[in-house]
């Protein structure tokens, strides 16, 4: 099974789907280099004493509070735990894998200011098939899928639960059996992990792909009726269909002609 490479090229819906169902991923070295360079720029600004919201300050009501270097690391853990407040049945494992891959892809752009270690940990979890247990209820989506993405971040730091080898396990046990170290978050990284819309997008892709298969079955089923009433395949003639100038009708008619090949 070939890896899906995260590099300069855009990813496709089919690639996201494949990762959801187990395909491994590989981050290109140039991406790691770019992410590292952008992280250094932020680190320099912080060392100069510059103040940035959510980087070296609190959030929400604590936006005016400047945090010390010692407080910043602890604050990342507090942020992740406080937002991991979902409940209900878990999201499908495939959906969570897709969300992890989508978040990894977004972080690979380098704009979030995280260390390469964050990307590499997501890559490792995907490739070892350690999939966070993400409750399906609880996120309002106000500034992203804060709650479900926090549950993913929670697993990355060794907390919460995960799916692994067909079982639901405490994360620390799955990490121990797979010889995986938990991620140690540094400033800015909690927000970067959970302030996005990748869970919503993963759910949309899952529904889209399932609907795509359903519509294909519907098209085939409709042709049984067509054949039963001795339908005239001439109505699907390419020249005739192109007169309507609809790319969708052209595509469907082509599919019908393929299925009806040999029918008179």
pLDDT digits (tens, 9 = 90+) for 86-102: 999 999 999 999 999 99
> Is the same domain home to 119 and 85?
yes
Our separate counts of H helices and E strands in the chain read 11, 7
- Residues classed as catalytic: 53
> Is the same domain home to 127 and 192?
yes
> Is the same domain home to 85 and 41?
yes
pTM: 0.87
Average pLDDT over residues 19-24: 96
> Is the same domain home to 196 and 230?
no
Cβ-proximal residues to 66 (8 Å cutoff; 6+ apart), any chain: 51, 56, 57
- At residue 69, the pLDDT reads 80
The answer to whether residue 242 scores a pLDDT higher than 80 is: yes
| Cα–Cα distance for residue pair 43/41, rounded to 1 Å | 6
Domain membership of residue 147 (yes or no) is: yes
Domain membership of residue 164 (yes or no) is: yes
Which token pair is 77? 């853990």
Count of structural domains within the chain: 2
| Cα–Cα distance for residue pair 193/211, rounded to 1 Å | 29
Q: In the block, which residue shows the tokens 């100069």?
A: 48
| Cα–Cα distance for residue pair 16/149, rounded to 1 Å | 17
Listing DSSP states for 156-222 in one string gives HTT-SEEEETTEEEEHHHHHHHTT-PPP---TTHHHHHHSS-HHHHHHHHHHHHHHHHHHHHHHHHH
Distances (CA, A) of 263 to 205, 236, 258: 35, 12, 10
Each residue's pLDDT tens digit, 49-80: 889 888 889 888 888 899 988 888 899 999 99
> Is the same domain home to 200 and 225?
no
Q: What are phi and psi of 21, to 5 degrees?
A: -100, 25
> Is the same domain home to 113 and 239?
no
> Is the same domain home to 133 and 237?
no
157 DSSP 8-state letter: T
> Is the same domain home to 106 and 28?
yes
| Cα–Cα distance for residue pair 102/16, rounded to 1 Å | 7
> Is the same domain home to 95 and 116?
yes
What is the SS3 assignment for 30?
helix
CATH of the domain at 184: 1.10.275.10
| Cα–Cα distance for residue pair 12/116, rounded to 1 Å | 23
Each residue's pLDDT tens digit, 214-228: 998 999 999 999 999
- At residue 209, the pLDDT reads 95
Residue from 189, 173, 9, 206 nearest 103 by CA: 189
Domain hosting 56: range is 4-206
- At residue 142, the pLDDT reads 67
């Amino acid at each position: 099974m070939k890896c899906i490479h995260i590099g300069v090229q855009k990813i496709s819906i089919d690639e996201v789907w494949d990762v959801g169902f187990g395909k491994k991923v590989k981050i290109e070295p140039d991406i790691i280099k770019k992410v590292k360079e952008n992280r250094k720029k932020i680190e320099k600004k912080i060392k100069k004493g510059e103040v940035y919201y959510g980087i070296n300050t609190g959030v929400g009501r604590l936006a005016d509070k400047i945090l010390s270097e010692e407080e910043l690391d602890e604050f990342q853990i507090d942020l992740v735990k406080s937002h991991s407040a979902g409940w209900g049945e878990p999201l499908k494992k495939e959906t969570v894998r897709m969300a992890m891959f989508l978040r990894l892809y977004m972080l690979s752009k380098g704009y979030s200011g995280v260390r390469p270690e964050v990307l590499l940990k997501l890559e490792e979890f995907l490739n070892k098939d350690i999939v966070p247990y993400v409750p399906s209820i609880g996120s309002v989506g106000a500034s992203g899928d804060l709650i479900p993405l926090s549950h993913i971040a929670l697993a990355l730091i060794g907390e919460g639960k995960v799916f692994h080898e067909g079982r639901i396990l405490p994360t620390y046990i799955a990490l121990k059996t797979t010889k995986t170290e938990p991620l140690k978050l540094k400033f800015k990284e909690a927000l970067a992990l959970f302030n996005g819309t990748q869970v919503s997008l993963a759910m949309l892709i899952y529904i889209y792909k399932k609907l795509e298969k359903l519509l294909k079955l519907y098209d085939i089923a409709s042709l049984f009726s067509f054949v039963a009433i001795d339908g005239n395949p001439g109505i699907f003639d390419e020249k005739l269909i192109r007169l309507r100038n609809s790319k969708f009708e052209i595509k469907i008619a082509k599919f019908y002609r393929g299925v009806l090949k040999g029918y008179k």
